Structure 1
Amino acid sequence: MHFEKPSKEKPCTQLTVKKLLEQKRKRETSSVPPSCSHPGLVPSAFTLSAGEPSNCPGGSNVDSNMAVSSQMWPPAEELLFTYPSPQPGPSYSTSYNMPVTTEYGTPSHFQTLGIAQPQQYESLGTDPGSSWSVLVEMDSSQNSVLSFNTPMDLNKLQEARMFINGMNDSRTTEQDDDGDTILHIYTAKGLRECAYAAAEKLSLLGKLDAKEHKGKTALLVAVAANNPEIVHDLLLLGADINACDVNGQTALHLAAHYGYNVVLQALLLSPANLEARNFEGMTPLHCAALSHCVTMKAIYAGGLSDARLQTATEKLACVNMLLDAGASLLSQEIKSNKTVLHLAVKEGNIDLVRFLLRNPLTNMKAFVNMKAHGHTVLHMAAGLHANPHQKEIMQLLLSQGADPSIRNLENDQAAHLLQSGPVGEQLKVLLKRRNTSSRRRVLSLQDPE
């Protein structure tokens, strides 16, 4: 007998939310040459295990055990989840599948959001010894002019409210196998009106901050998806800005790490814990500095481009926003006691070093002489062998009161950590001259009148 083989035709499937968001991110980053294997992930060369030498050319050779681990940061594609529609019932993924008309994070997002073009100021100096100089977009009062003001479509909002209000409470608050609510799904897809309607309902039911399987609330999903307007909406409706995921990352940590300056501005409109620590012991300011270092490392290694310049500018804007909001330059991350200045110097990030040293502090000398596991920033600068910015960084630190006589836990001064050869000898003279000058100044102060 002849039996017909069953049809193996695959059923028609729709794009998942993960795929939609991946496509969105590819459109936003298509012009940016990748600096690592995963977009949004700190390159592996930036993560050092105990005793492992740095893979970064010109990076600090001082105490690799002090390196800040970045393994906790998932790739961008892992932040953008797949949201299957719970069954039975209406499909969360397909209902009100409104096109997302606003693309954030692109160079044209100022025009898209109806923002006046900011004036550009070269805030990092024009020293001919510097290979690169990143522009920070500021207005004349040195305040960020980023904003977001795209209105919602009221007709779509009304339709979304009718749909959401037509669902019973248990259906609205239902979480699928990944812990996602209808609000997580709409937020990840960037459907602002649907997300707003769902958030209104969940807020009334006390479920606005429901967490999915990785501990992310809808607010954290909105931040990871780079949707500043949905972030703003959720905060207005009462979302917890200090909620953290399974890695201890708050909304500020995520926005700072990915350099989403428009999202960060939306977050900073609400009271937030600027000194919150993730499970790596870092504040949002540490995350912003670390992320800027990664981008500048790609620029130093691969050359300057408009896309990289835009990314570096946005990440430095995040550092500036956090400082303006009250984040402390003196904060030390818990694992190795590094300040953001230690991070910048250790990675040879001359632009960030200049920027940080221009911030007013009542006691700048104490700041530049703070220790991280025994090392001052001058010790770290002395370990920047083969880095083209080593001399300039050391000169900047010395001009702000860095003390060459301070010894680390191994009883070494900065001069003991310099490279051998002519360059090292020149830098030793620089340190010796500074040390002698400081000693003379101290003696003159001690002389009786």
Structure 2
Amino acid sequence: MSPKYETSPTGVNHHQLSPPAPVSQNTTALFPTAAPENAPMKQEFLINQQMQYGFEYPPLQEQRTPSPEARMTLFEWQIQQEARKVEGMSLEQLSMQDSDGDTFLHIAVAKGLRALAYVLSAKMAGSGFLDIKEHNGQSPLQIAVATNQYLIVQDLMAHGAQVNTRDSWGRAPLHVCAEKGHYLTLQSIWKALKGNRELIDVEVFSYDGLTALHLAVLSHNTVVKDLRNLQNPCIFMTTELGQRKRMYLECIKILLNMGASCGTKDQKSGRTSLHMACEEANVELLRIFLDQPTMLSIVNVKVCLFHDKQYIYGGFGNTALHIVSSLANHNTQAEAVKLLMRKGADPGVRNLENELPSQLVPEGPAGEKVRQILKGKHVNA
């Protein structure tokens, strides 16, 4: 049986079904001639139309007062229809799980059936089954996050779905949003949290030792690298990569607004989000991070390795300035060095192998320009 939704951190396979179409209220298309605006003439026109076509119009006053059904939104109408279908379902049926551990709610969420998911979650909210997990450790809320169903996320959280939960890969909903660039879903979570005044651990680590902000930065870096390495790029490729880059950037901004710190170290290499941005001389992210109020206490922090025996950027205990200075063939390297030094990065700090940033700079014209900047020249140029 094919998976109904995401079954691994690397891909999503789900079905999107269109919502039911609204019932048409348009009867004017039946007649070729429009009714006049003047009320007496309009009444005469309706009588003539009735005689000609045999269609009985209601009185004018009734036409001006729409019924409750006519005032419904499409979503409210859909909820009404779905509620009738499931009103007889028992709690036992609602909590029943198939061979994959899915309830009816999991499947409705995976297929994007918002109205049905709304009705089911409302019925399950008070029973303790709203956060029941399937075989990959994903609750209905986590399925909605993985499939980027941001309106369903909003509905589930309104009914009390727990956001501080992790799947079998150790990912919280924030991790999934950051990894996939689901900024609208992340925004829905943030708004729901503010509305409910619910607390969330923005710095929660995945089983890989990464926070959501770490994942968003690494994903943004990947797109920056892909753009830099494009050969003979076409408009489609650059546009697609540009859109992905903006999605990750929005996630990073939202996470920072939620309280994530770019100074938090990952649990394997000891890198901060600032260090990670420096690995690609990612000036777009550096400008954002270096404007954070806590940056003066972070800019000269050294990488502290917990498990690894070596670090690919040359030496233990590198600062952000060490990392940027060691890069080769990055056309934004000089700009990144300037940004760091303007915000207090110290070119006189040595790493644990007693190396200065200037000693890690590659040879060549580009390297010479970076050495001049490290000496304090052209920093403000």
Q: TM-score range by the shorter chain?
A: 0.7 to 0.9
Q: Distance in 2 between matches of 1:203 and 1:433?
A: 61
**Counterpart Cα distance in 2 of 1:335 and 1:403:** 25
Q: Confirm or deny that 1:332 pairs with 2:275.
A: no
Which of 332, 346, 368 in structure 1 is aligned with 2:299?
368
- 1:306 counterpart residue number: 239
Identity among equivalent pairs (%): 36
Q: Does 1:282 align with 2:210?
A: yes
Matched residue type, 1:312: K
Partner-residue secondary structure (3-state), 2:135: coil
Q: Give a deviation string over 1:289-321, Cα, whole Å, max 9, x none.
A: 122112222222225733322222221111111
1:75 alignment partner in structure 2: 10
SS of 2:125's equivalent? helix
Post-superposition shift, 1:74? 2.2
2:279 corresponds to: 346
Match of 2:349 in 1: 406
Q: Does 1:424 align with 2:367?
A: yes
* Alignment: residue pair count: 305
In structure 2, give the amino acid aligned to 1:268: W
Within the alignment, does 1:355 sit opposite 2:283 as a pair? no
Contact 2:203 2:260 in 1 (8 A): yes
Residue 344 of structure 1 and its aligned partner are, at CA, apart by 0.7
Query: Are the counterparts in 2 of residues 17 and 185 from structure 1 also a CA contact under 8 Å?
Result: no
Which of 19, 42, 47 is the matching residue for 1:99? 19
Q: Deviations over 1:90-114 (max 9, x none)?
A: xxx9xxx65389xxxxxxxxxxxxx
Structure 1 stretches of at least 4 aligned residues deviating more than 6 Å after TM superposition: none
Which residue of the partner structure matches residue 64 of structure 2?
A: none
**Which structure is higher in helix share?**
2
Q: Which of the numbers 395, 400, 403 marks the counterpart of 2:338?
A: 395
**CA distance in structure 2 between the aligned counterparts of 1:343 and 1:401, rounded to whole angstroms:** 18
Post-superposition shift, 1:73? 7.2
Q: Is the 8 A contact 1:243 1:250 kept in 2?
A: yes
Deviations 1:259-284 (A, max 9, x none): 11111110002132211111122221
Cα deviations across residues 349-390 of structure 1 (Å, max 9, x unaligned)? 22111222233x15x333110111211001110121111111
Q: Tell me how far 1:75 sits from its aligned partner.
A: 1.7
Residue 204 of structure 1 aligns to a residue whose secondary structure is coil
Tell me: CA distance 1:308–1:369, structure 2 relative to 1, closer, same or farther (3 Å): same
Question: 2 CA distance for matches of 1:188 and 1:242?
Answer: 20
Once the two structures are TM-superposed, the CA of residue 213 in structure 1 deviates from its matched residue by: 1.0
Is the CA contact (8 Å cut-off) linking 2:130 and 2:161 kept in structure 1?
A: yes
Match of 2:91 among 169, 189, 195: 169
| 2:249 match | 316
- Residue 173 (structure 1) shift: 0.6
Q: CA deviation at 1:221?
A: 0.5
User: CA RMSD of the aligned region, Å?
Assistant: 2.7
The one of 317, 320, 334 equivalent to 1:377 is 320
Distance (Å, rounded) in 1 between the aligned partners of 2:207 and 2:251: 21
Deviation digits for residues 203-251 of structure 1 (CA, Å, limit 9, x no counterpart): 2321100111111111011011111100000000000011110122111
TM-score (norm: length of structure 1): 0.63
CA distance in 2, matches of 1:169, 1:213: 21
Q: Which residue identity does 1:99 align to in structure 2?
A: P
Counterpart-to-counterpart distance in 2, 1:224 and 1:244 = 12
| CA–CA separation in structure 2 for the residues paired with 1:315 and 1:235 | 23
**2:98, 2:161 → 1: CA distance?**
21
Structure 1 unmatched runs, 5+:
1-14, 23-71, 83-92, 102-150, 438-449
- Structure 2 residue aligned with 1:215, among 131, 134, 137? 137
TM (normalized to structure 2)?
0.74
Q: Is 2:192 aligned against 1:261?
A: no
Once residues 376 and 203 of structure 1 are traced to their aligned partners in structure 2, the CA distance between those partners, rounded to angstroms, is 49
CA contact (8 A) 2:14 2:147 kept: no
1:5 counterpart residue number: none
Tell me, yes or no, if the aligned pair for 1:252 and 1:284 is still in contact at 8 Å. yes
| SS at structure 2 position matched to 1:320 | helix
Q: Which secondary structure does the structure 1 equivalent of 2:243 belong to? A: helix
Which whole-Å CA distance do the structure 2 matches of 1:225 and 1:100 have between them? 20
**Distance in 1 (alpha carbons) for counterparts of 2:201 and 2:122:** 25
Question: Is residue 166–residue 173 contact of structure 2 (8 Å, CA) maintained in 1?
Answer: yes
Q: 1:219 to 1:407 in 2, by over 3 A?
A: same
For 1:118-129, list aligned pairs within 5 A. none
Q: Secondary structure at the match of 1:322?
A: helix
Q: Distance in 2 between matches of 1:285 and 1:421?
A: 35
Structure-1 separation of matches of 2:215 and 2:20: 29
148, 155, 164: which one pairs with 1:242?
Answer: 164
Q: Is the 8 A contact 2:181 2:216 kept in 1?
A: yes
Partners of 1:297 and 1:349 within 8 A in 2: no
The Cα offsets for residues 398-417 of structure 1, whole Å up to 9 and x where unpaired, read as 11111112111222111121
Q: Relative to structure 1, is the Cα distance of residues 100 and 163 closer, same or farther in structure 2, using a 3 angstrom cutoff?
A: closer
User: What is the distance in 2 between the residues matched to 1:427 and 1:301?
Assistant: 22
Q: What amino acid maps onto 1:348 in structure 2?
A: A
In the superposition, relative to structure 1, how do residues 152 and 188 fare at CA in structure 2: closer, same or farther (>3 Å)? farther
Structure 2 residue aligned with 1:7: none
**What secondary structure does 2:84 align onto?**
helix
